[in-house]
Chains A and B, each alone.
Chain A
Amino acid sequence: MTERRPLLQVEAFSGGYVDGIDIIHEVGIDLYRDEILTIIGPNGAGKSTLLKAVVGALPFERGRRWFTGEDVSGWSTPRMIASGVGYVPQVDNVFTSLSIRENLEMGGYMRNTGLRERIGEVLAMFPDLESRPNERASRLSGGQRQMLAMARALMLDPVMLCLDEPTAALSPAARGELFARIYKIHMSGVGMLMVEQNATEALVWSDRAVVMVDGEIALEGTGTEMLTSSEVGRAFLGQAEGEGFTIEEGSTL
């Protein structure tokens, strides 16, 4: 039997945007290819900063990170992207003046072959986009833009996708649709690392989750453990004392 190895390992990682001022402190996480790992926590906890650190977008960093067993400490974002990491930033995550198809072409800029075929494959995952490939991204709704941002990140056929608050500012219906899409992409063999403010919904879809507070990992557990934990519920899910989140027996994702 082969040993289950993490896709991503981050060890004793500290860093920030200004030299000498750390936003995250000695953080360690790992992600397996067959799981969705969600990072939750209050505003300013360093969740997005940790995600940026993972994709090599943090200007100042200390610590180590491995991806697919290779030491990728200090690697730049383009290099991480080329090695199989997809990254969807929280804002400005599509080229608004370009069409849907052109956005996908730019997502696949590093591909030397098979660009047209891959665009077809990716569009097939997002029917909303497939029906109007020449539409300008600026004309899309918030949910459709997020879909396009994910589609763009999938163009290089990544093995891991990093999503920074993908459901921010979306309606409940659009959030549900987006989470379902994320899950579907995950089931096609893509490890998911996700930062989310809509913690309750995100945890329903997550295999594991970590809670960040003040730049450190405060709690770690499975999605179900987090949902049923009264401590997490009170602090991060907006539940009252004694209230718990229950998952109906036999419910499926």
Chain B
Amino acid sequence: MGLTLVFGVLGIADFAHGDKMGWGMFLAFFVVSSEGANLGFAGGRFGSLSFGWGLVVGLLVAMIGVALISVVLERLVFRRLRVTGGGFFVFAIASLGMSIMLRAVIQLIWGPSNFRFTPGIHPAIEVLGGIKVKPDQFFIVGVTFLAAVLLYWLLYRTRFGKAMRATADNPGLAEASGIDTNRIRVGTWIIAGIFGALAGVMLGLQAEVRFDAGFRLLLPLFAAVILGGIGNPWGALIGGLTVGIAQEVSTEWINTGLKPGIPFVIVIVVLLLRPRGLFGQQR
């Protein structure tokens, strides 16, 4: 959702989004890990979930941290490139550079090892038809749905969100209408950073905490955004679910090693048949 927001509002294909998710994951890990526990944050569990207040505090720290990283990168890099007339590809390549830098710093601090928010075995429970689901996964689905509702409400019901959509539509006219487009850009980066951190923490909860976990997810993320329609939060949600399910189901017929290629196939098919995605608006 963060990626679709930045793509839709600012027109930037942010290749650093995956690594911002990585930063969110590791900032939360810092809080729930032994270093965080020493600060008095970690401990306890919510019912059958694998985590407690430690991860909630970790999530808040991650959201603030990634939002700050996003704003600093906007000020230091994107704003300067905008002033000098940088176009789509300049922004994309710059974000690729930032992606490498962000990932390298994570590796420098935490190393290449894999971690988990909460060590131990977290058994799945059986639901309909013998399908087994972990309680954490229910939580992740719920949070994702809430995030989509929140983003939709922000974009379509609030004055700031409507100004974001107006800026995405026609920045010159937005400025002529008295909208502070610089403030909108910074706000967009903050919101995208918060959503990126949330996604990173959810990814860490579902899989392992690893320095390149976010980056590995980047291509499926772009596939989800393109499939759903750029700039549409519901599209991002449906696109993400579709790409994820397609990847997992594909292993029934193809070798597991070929699974990462599924998002590419989806992108090619969508661009050929419906270039604006499932829910993208035609202008």
Q: Which residues of B contact A89 (CB under 8 A)?
A: 172-173, 176
Measured between C-beta atoms, what is the minimum distance from B83 to chain A in Å? 13
Task: Tell me whether A228 is interfacial, beta carbon within 8 Å.
Answer: no
Q: Render B147-168 as a binary contact track against A, CB cut-off 8 A, 1 for contact.
A: 0000000000001001101101
- Knowing that A87-B176, A110-B177 touch, tell me 13 more A-B residue pairs with CB under 8 angstroms: A57-B176, A78-B175, A81-B176, A92-B170, A92-B172, A92-B173, A95-B170, A95-B173, A97-B165, A97-B168, A98-B169, A107-B177, A152-B177
Task: Tell me whether A157 is interfacial, beta carbon within 8 Å.
Answer: no
Task: Tell me whether A229 is interfacial, beta carbon within 8 Å.
Answer: no
Q: Are B282 and A138 in contact (CB under 8 A)?
A: yes
Report how far A87 CA is from B165 CA in the complex, Å.
Answer: 20
Give A contacts to B, CB under 8 Å.
Answer: 55, 57, 77-78, 81-82, 87, 89, 92-98, 102, 105-107, 109-110, 138, 152, 156
Q: Which residues of A contact B179 (CB under 8 A)?
A: 106, 109
Q: Which residues of A contact B281 (CB under 8 A)?
A: 97, 138
Give B contacts to A, CB under 8 Å.
Answer: 159, 162-163, 165-166, 168-170, 172-180, 281-283
Report how far A55 CA is from B282 CA in the complex, Å.
Answer: 31
Q: Are A102 and B162 in contact (CB under 8 A)?
A: yes
5 contacts across the A-B interface (CB closer than 8 A): A92-B172, A96-B169, A102-B162, A105-B162, A109-B163
Measured between C-beta atoms, what is the minimum distance from A182 to chain B in Å? 19
Q: Which residues of A contact B178 (CB under 8 A)?
A: 78, 81-82, 109-110, 156
Report how far A78 CA is from B163 CA in the complex, Å.
Answer: 15
Measured between C-beta atoms, what is the minimum distance from B1 to chain A in Å? 18
Contacts A106-B163, A109-B163 given; indicate if A97 touches B169 (C-beta within 8 A). yes
Q: Are A95 and B159 in contact (CB under 8 A)?
A: no
Report how far A98 CA is from B162 CA in the complex, Å.
Answer: 8
Measured between C-beta atoms, what is the minimum distance from B234 to chain A in Å? 15
Report how far A89 CA is from B173 CA in the complex, Å.
Answer: 8
Q: Which residues of A contact B165 (CB under 8 A)?
A: 95, 97-98, 102
Q: Which of A78, A87, A95, A138 contacts B166 (CB 8 A)?
A: A95
Q: Are A97 and B162 in contact (CB under 8 A)?
A: no
**Which of B159, B172, B173: most chain A CB closer than 10 A?**
B173
Report how far A2 CA is from B174 CA in the complex, Å.
Answer: 39
Measured between C-beta atoms, what is the minimum distance from B230 to chain A in Å? 12
Q: Are A138 and B283 in contact (CB under 8 A)?
A: yes
Report how far A102 CA is from B158 CA in the complex, Å.
Answer: 11
Q: Which residues of B contact A107 (CB under 8 A)?
A: 177
Report how far A89 CA is from B177 CA in the complex, Å.
Answer: 11
Q: Are B174 and A106 in contact (CB under 8 A)?
A: yes
Residue of B nearest to A102 (CB): B162
Q: Are B176 and A77 in contact (CB under 8 A)?
A: yes
Q: Which residues of B contact A55 (CB under 8 A)?
A: 176
Report how far A110 CA is from B176 CA in the complex, Å.
Answer: 11
Report how far A87 CA is from B177 CA in the complex, Å.
Answer: 9
Report how far A156 CA is from B176 CA in the complex, Å.
Answer: 12
Report how far A98 CA is from B173 CA in the complex, Å.
Answer: 13
Q: Which residues of B contact A96 (CB under 8 A)?
A: 169-170, 283
Measured between C-beta atoms, what is the minimum distance from A170 to chain B in Å? 20
**CB-CB nearest 7 A-B residue pairs:** A110-B178, A95-B169, A106-B166, A78-B178, A97-B169, A95-B166, A77-B176
Q: Which residues of B contact A93 (CB under 8 A)?
A: 173
Q: Are B283 and A78 in contact (CB under 8 A)?
A: no
Q: Which residues of B contact A110 (CB under 8 A)?
A: 177-178
Measured between C-beta atoms, what is the minimum distance from A23 to chain B in Å? 18
Q: Which residues of B contact A105 (CB under 8 A)?
A: 159, 162
Measured between C-beta atoms, what is the minimum distance from A155 to chain B in Å? 8
Measured between C-beta atoms, what is the minimum distance from A13 to chain B in Å? 20
Report how far A55 CA is from B177 CA in the complex, Å.
Answer: 12
Report how far A77 CA is from B283 CA in the complex, Å.
Answer: 26
Q: Are A98 and B166 in contact (CB under 8 A)?
A: yes
Report how far A97 CA is from B230 CA in the complex, Å.
Answer: 13
Report how far A6 CA is from B210 CA in the complex, Å.
Answer: 69
Measured between C-beta atoms, what is the minimum distance from A98 to chain B in Å? 6
Contacts A92-B172, A95-B166, A98-B169 given; indicate if A106 touches B177 (C-beta within 8 A). yes
Q: Which residues of A contact B166 (CB under 8 A)?
A: 95, 98, 102, 106
Residue of B nearest to A79 (CB): B178
Report how far A77 CA is from B172 CA in the complex, Å.
Answer: 10
Report how far A94 CA is from B175 CA in the complex, Å.
Answer: 12
Residue of B nearest to A92 (CB): B170
Measured between C-beta atoms, what is the minimum distance from A99 to chain B in Å? 10
Residue of B nearest to A156 (CB): B178
Q: Which of A81, A92, A97, A138 contacts B177 (CB 8 A)?
A: A81
Q: Which residues of A contact B170 (CB under 8 A)?
A: 92, 95-96
Measured between C-beta atoms, what is the minimum distance from B4 to chain A in Å? 14
Q: Which residues of B contact A87 (CB under 8 A)?
A: 176
